[in-house]
Chain A
Amino acid sequence: MHRRDVLLSLGATLTAGRLFGRPVEDLFRIGAEANDRLTRTSPRPAGPLGPFSARDNELVLTIAEHILPRSDTPGARDARVNEFIAMIVDEWYDDTERATFLTGLRDEDQRSRDRFGTGFLEATPAQQVDLLRALDAETTALRQARASTSGLLWPTIKGLTLYGYFTSQLVQTEVLKTVISPGRFHGCVPT
């Protein structure tokens, strides 16, 4: 009864089979269509949202868009991952987790000021990427040393961005084209 549980504990995601394996041209076409549609309906401008001030919200969106930027497929901003993240931080997190997240976000803003003399949002995209690369390297080093990354902003926001993006209706239907009822099971077919 617990196959999935064990599997999840090992860090695998077995939904892969129904999400992937389309020809590249197909994906480019999907991306182009999605882009067309998105330029017609821009995401709502960031203001205060749940536990986020307007600046928090824009910080989340900006970092998330660096993690999963718009290319020939939609980006994190298109998928409105900030709305998902705000909901989790507001309703799913306890008080300590919420405070840790918000502090982490504001610390990143401060780190930008310390390094570039300007807030994260006002820094150039290249400077922003530099700051995030440092965070990514820090997380990687901790993982390699088998040290805890708990409470750090970067692995948290990266995980929430991935989850919010890939479970969104936009990405599930337009990019991954998840088939809810495949009809058959094939165990070993070309990707």
Chain B
Amino acid sequence: MRANVARGPDRNGEMKSYDAIVIGSGVSGGWAAKELTERGLSVICLEAGRPISPEADYVEHVQPWEMHFRGRGDRKRLEREQPVQRQCYACDEWSSKFFVNDLENPYTTNPDAPFTWIRGRHEGGRSITWGRQVYRWSDLDFEANAREGIGVDWPIRYADIAPWYSYVERFIGVSGQREGLAQLPDGEFLPPMEMNCAEVKVRDAMARTWGRERILTIGRCAVLTRDHHGRKACYYCGPCERGCITRSYFSSVNSTLPRARATGRLTFRPHSVVAEIVFDPEKGKAKGVRVIDALSHESLEINGRIIFLCASTLESARILLNSKSAQFSEGLGSSSGQLGRNVMDHIFLAGASGIIPGSEDRTTRGDRPNGIYVPRFRNVKDKHPSFVRGYGMQGSAGRSGWGRGNGMEGFGAEFKDKLIREEGPWSMWLGGWGECLPREDNAVTLDPEVKDAWGIPALRIQCTWGPNELAMTNDMQTAAAEILEATGAREIRQFNDRSTPGLCIHEMGSARMGRDRRTSVLNRWNQVWDAPNVFVTDGACMASSGCQNPSITYMALTARASAYAVEAMKRGEL
């Protein structure tokens, strides 16, 4: 495709007009940049934050004694500048640089309805710190809204997305075990990682007790178990969220952005905060975006024939809400009244833990960056009396190290030797990740007063759990305990800490796909009904939440929409 360069370079040597503008460089934006450039388009990728250099920024091998606070984090700075972000386990002394400054990036909630909004503003976004779990959806998920009359029906089914799951998995590399389950389709897997002694015991006990109804499988994760497309196999150092110099896990920086750059058609512009999408009322589509340079605070306009909005779920909603025009006074995509609504997250932090007796003479070697998975078993064949949908369980087993000394009685040479030469018993924990139903009153709007450091209105987030999610957490803890009992575990402890909405960092919805422009923001190709050259392919597009970790679905939808967009441009439709 011929690059559309209507105007010459600006004073920074930048073209001001491109075939495509990609907003955001995270999981979705990286995929849009790769697919659109590889399919011949000139693309500018606008990243709100700074560029990332693996050699300078990745810190997975920096040891605790090399850190000023030995890894405990600069507590006072974190409390002052990242009071929200520090709620994420990965926002530690090493990786807090991969999370936003909360003072520069405010948002508001009702005091009695907190929402934890974890964000990364830098090249690669949250793909650097993500949990790397990869689970396909099935028609159990895509058909759920229609079957139960909740929200709107998805405009696609599994058959529409399955080839794109394969396409994405083959590129990013996903390790996992094929299980042949209808509710959790197998993917294009690299060899699975090993389970440890205790996990094998739990798996076998579950097989004896529940057969194929409730199984345990190794986590399916975007970590390479053998060399793949020029990236090296994992060497099991452990803390992926600090980066990976061998590019062994998928992130935009490790994987998609290098491919996009290799085409020679990518312009990557960091420090570019998109304030709004500019709508052309005569043509009935978007003509470009208004950008605020994060460093100079100057405003500039960049034009493109198509726009891929991949700023992350709620940032994308915010940009759409802020894109007000004479025609769409409540924001671009607002004609259905659904823009900003139906925000979801997964509810978690409910489950059980226990001691798995035996194998005291066995241990693990290497730090596996992955756990185990129990695919959804509720409302698959049976019908649960107290809730619809279901949850998957994640967890892992291990033996405790010197940290257990805190809770041990005693001190002295023998105490020390025990901590050095022995390990604690095998313990296992399992927790549910539960589906959240879409509700119109879980909505984001622009705060009328608060603005961010660049003068853009902050989001006001209203999101609470409903009775279905809360009922599910009760079942998570009893079902997890049941599994541990079936294994013969001791000291089983149930927990139910019900995460605040947002904390799972699976926030999605706010610009849902649908079949009808009167009830949805996006069509079946992720196009904004009100502006067909704008595609929203991150989590904002989700019409329901499933219970699976969602990133792979965003990637597949982005690749699918990118292919569609390029074909539509060739047909002269965009």
Interfacial residues of chain A within 149-172, with CB under 8 A of chain B in the complex: 155, 158-159, 162-164, 166-169, 172
Given the known inter-chain contacts A16-B363, A84-B70, A176-B420, please indicate yes or no for A187 contacting B402, CB distance below 8 A: no
Q: How far apart sit A186 and B72, CA to CA, in the bound complex (Å)?
A: 28
Picked from A2, A17, A164, A168, the residue with its CB within 8 Å of the CB of B398 is A17
Contact: B411 with A67, CB < 8 Å? yes
Q: How far apart sit A180 and B65, CA to CA, in the bound complex (Å)?
A: 13
| Count of residues in A whose CB is under 8 Å from the partner chain | 67
Contact: B364 with A12, CB < 8 Å? no
Q: Which residues of B contact A168 (CB under 8 A)?
A: 65
Interfacial residues of chain A within 5-64, with CB under 8 A of chain B in the complex: 5-21, 24, 27
Contact: A13 with B367, CB < 8 Å? no
Contact: B415 with A15, CB < 8 Å? no
Nearest to B131 among chain A residues (CB) is A1
Contact: B64 with A3, CB < 8 Å? no
Q: How far apart sit A123 and B279, CA to CA, in the bound complex (Å)?
A: 81
Interface of B is mostly: loop
Decide yes or no whether A91 CB sits under 8 A from chain B. Answer: yes
Decide yes or no whether A148 CB sits under 8 A from chain B. Answer: no
Decide yes or no whether A124 CB sits under 8 A from chain B. Answer: no
Contact: A16 with B400, CB < 8 Å? yes
Interfacial residues of chain B within 316-345, with CB under 8 A of chain A in the complex: none
Q: How far apart sit A17 and B427, CA to CA, in the bound complex (Å)?
A: 13
- B387-420 contact mask (Cβ, 8 Å, vs A): 1 or 0: 0000000111011111111110111110111011
Q: Name which of B147-155, B195-203, B552-560 contacts chain A.
A: B195-203
Given the known inter-chain contacts A16-B399, A16-B424, A27-B421, please indicate yes or no for A182 contacting B367, CB distance below 8 A: yes
Given the known inter-chain contacts A16-B398, A17-B367, please indicate yes or no for A175 contacting B197, CB distance below 8 A: no
Q: Which residues of B contact A84 (CB under 8 A)?
A: 70
Decide yes or no whether A88 CB sits under 8 A from chain B. Answer: yes
Q: Which residues of A contact B70 (CB under 8 A)?
A: 84, 163-164, 167
Picked from A88, A166, A181, the residue with its CB within 8 Å of the CB of B235 is A181
Contact: B69 with A92, CB < 8 Å? yes
Picked from B200, B236, B421, the residue with its CB within 8 Å of the CB of A185 is B236
CB distance from B61 to the nearest CB of A (A): 6
Nearest to A69 among chain B residues (CB) is B413
Q: How far apart sit A180 and B367, CA to CA, in the bound complex (Å)?
A: 9
Q: Which of A73, A175, A186 has the most CB of B within 10 A?
A: A186
Decide yes or no whether B40 CB sits under 8 A from chain A. Answer: no
CB distance from A13 to the nearest CB of B (A): 3
Nearest to B237 among chain A residues (CB) is A181
Given the known inter-chain contacts A88-B72, A172-B64, A189-B364, please indicate yes or no for A136 contacting B396, CB distance below 8 A: no
Nearest to A167 among chain B residues (CB) is B64
Q: How far apart sit A92 and B416, CA to CA, in the bound complex (Å)?
A: 26
Decide yes or no whether B80 CB sits under 8 A from chain A. Answer: no
Picked from A5, A68, A155, the residue with its CB within 8 Å of the CB of B416 is A68
Contact: B420 with A11, CB < 8 Å? no
Decide yes or no whether A4 CB sits under 8 A from chain B. Answer: yes
Q: How far apart sit A183 and B130, CA to CA, in the bound complex (Å)?
A: 22
Q: Which residues of A contact B402 (CB under 8 A)?
A: 13, 19, 162, 166
Q: How far apart sit A191 and B367, CA to CA, in the bound complex (Å)?
A: 15
Decide yes or no whether B75 CB sits under 8 A from chain A. Answer: yes
Q: How far apart sit A10 and B494, CA to CA, in the bound complex (Å)?
A: 11
Nearest to A74 among chain B residues (CB) is B416
Picked from B64, B422, B424, the residue with its CB within 8 Å of the CB of A12 is B424
Contact: A92 with B504, CB < 8 Å? no
Q: How far apart sit A19 and B424, CA to CA, in the bound complex (Å)?
A: 12
Contact: A184 with B365, CB < 8 Å? yes
Nearest to A93 among chain B residues (CB) is B75
Q: Which residues of B contact A88 (CB under 8 A)?
A: 69, 72
Nearest to A67 among chain B residues (CB) is B411
Given the known inter-chain contacts A66-B412, A187-B195, A187-B200, please indicate yes or no for A159 contacting B363, CB distance below 8 A: no
Given the known inter-chain contacts A5-B89, A88-B72, A185-B364, please indicate yes or no for A71 contacting B417, CB distance below 8 A: yes
Decide yes or no whether B371 CB sits under 8 A from chain A. Answer: yes
Decide yes or no whether B63 CB sits under 8 A from chain A. Answer: yes
Q: How far apart sit A129 and B236, CA to CA, in the bound complex (Å)?
A: 42
Decide yes or no whether B362 CB sits under 8 A from chain A. Answer: yes
Contact: B423 with A191, CB < 8 Å? yes
Decide yes or no whether A188 CB sits under 8 A from chain B. Answer: yes
> Could you pull out 27 A-B pairs where Cβ atoms are within 8 angstroms?
A2-B89, A6-B351, A11-B400, A11-B406, A13-B400, A13-B404, A15-B367, A19-B401, A20-B363, A20-B399, A20-B401, A20-B422, A27-B421, A87-B68, A92-B72, A136-B409, A163-B72, A167-B71, A169-B65, A180-B237, A181-B237, A182-B365, A186-B194, A186-B365, A188-B197, A188-B200, A190-B363
Since A166-B419, A169-B63 are in contact, a sample of 11 more A-B pairs with Cβ atoms closer than 8 Å, ordered by chain A residue number, is: A1-B504, A1-B549, A6-B431, A10-B427, A13-B401, A68-B411, A84-B70, A91-B76, A163-B72, A182-B365, A187-B364
Q: Which A residues are closer than 8 A to B by beta carbons?
A: 1-21, 24, 27, 66-69, 71, 73, 75, 84, 87-88, 91-92, 94, 129, 132, 136, 140, 143, 155, 158-159, 162-164, 166-169, 172, 175-176, 178, 180-191
